[in-house]
Chain A
Amino acid sequence: MSLDIEKLRGLFPILHQEVHGKPLIYLDNAATTQKPQSVIDAISDYYEKDNANIHRGAHALADRSTNYFESTREAVRAFINARESAEIILTKGTTESINLVAATFGRKFIGAGDEIIISTLEHHSNIVPWQMLCEEKGAVLKIIPINDQGELIFEEFVKLTSERTKFVSVVHASNALGTINPVKEIISHAHKVGAKVLLDGAQSTSHLDIDVQDLDCDFLAFSAHKLYGPTGLGILYGKREVLESMPPYQGGGEMIKEVSFEGTTFNDIPFKFEAGTPNIGDVIAFKKALEFIQELGKGAIKAHEDELLRYAVEKLSDIKGFIPVGVAKDKVSVLSFSIQGMHPFDVGVMLDAKGIAVRTGHHCTQPLMKRLGLEGTVRASFAVYNTKAEIDALAEAVQKIARIKNK
């Protein structure tokens, strides 16, 4: 079913504004997506009507807040098809979710000489926590290489695995290039050598159907703000048996069962990992974002975004000096590129002058840029509310900019 994009754009108040005197064309969706009115309203509704701390209060507002909060947890469970909502931990974002796993599972189960595998495509958030863990424990970090198309080389991953492999943490879809990794095969192979697997779903969850039971991943980390939801909120999915085997992350608040000065017993999952007062209003509002996505349907969203990407590649490829970066066969709607003879920053600032918002630079994937021999790229990333007319404007602007150095 095709979507009525104009109607859908009406749900996003931020899109209807001018920047530098030009209509805003927002193509930085891999960094963060814009929020529909329903999400914005839910945040103000919460503070206008329901604000109370959750789980402990013996009054109506606390009861309401708790119910709304927990109903988001249930909505997330359904969104990724987890077995139970206790497997859904609410964090500050993808980065915190990954750090939580490294700091708890990692500290308990990874030892000297053990190996952790990540890929060349990783964002810094899925590199640094593992580097820190390896340094602390004397473990070894192994990196899956990529080919020149920007695709992970599965055969090389297989070669890296052995009985020493204890953990594999890979990105589902690359933020810098859009490459979708063969994660089901990666998970299946990692399990054969007894390793646990974390998927960084920051870029995949808004585009692809995610079924954690079908994927059989041990962990999945993602952020609400890339899913049309609020910032400062993330999800960590973990299999019950794995979460239960892990020590707590931070101490205090909801994570305790009983505290005495002699010792403390910890709460059950998911609360064991949710110390302190959470971001209640934003958690509640996130349910509206999930409803927005569910109503449109991931299939329809992906079809529209794929069409935008195909159209953008076609339009921009004709431009002299245009160099696509990352041409994997299987991609989410990310178009990374360079202009011959130009620094990405200059291109980004010139596009901004035309009201077009893109990302430029290394996209927090410096090792990947080093592998590609680039300082950075210009990245246009599309969401469901983008249109072909916006891509026409992008192509026209890029053509004009490229002419400066590519006459």
Chain B
Amino acid sequence: MRGDQIFGLVMIFAALGYLFSAAGIETSFLSDPVGPRVFPYIVGGVILVSSVVMILQPDPDAAWPGRAMLAKLALTLVVMVVYAVSVPRFGFVLPTVIASAILSYQISPRPGPAVLTGLGLGVGLFVIFKYALGLGLIGLPPAITG
């Protein structure tokens, strides 16, 4: 199966779920002639039709990354998810240093520059955002600074 067809199939299920969910939207007696369901029905219908077309007439497949590259991309995603979850908990600096060092290492696998990039970005961006731009970032883990 080509990428277009797989994606089309996924979108068909998504559209059906969307239409089903739209059917469950509560309307109120005050509502207008169209109501809150009709537009979602139209939109869901367009997704459904275009997904079917994508399955029937797929374009030539793109060059998808190999297994090693997929693993690398997945790792990147995991790093970013962990980063997103840990910033509110551990402050800005530490997660940023670690996450940017890992990202940097993935692009150019040399530990030295990676660590320097991490430190530079973690501290540098914090200083810029906090003091030059005045954003309300918390630098260090709230547990340490109280």
- Are chains A and B native binding partners rather than an unrelated pairing? no
Residue numbers of A with Cβ under 8 A of B are: none
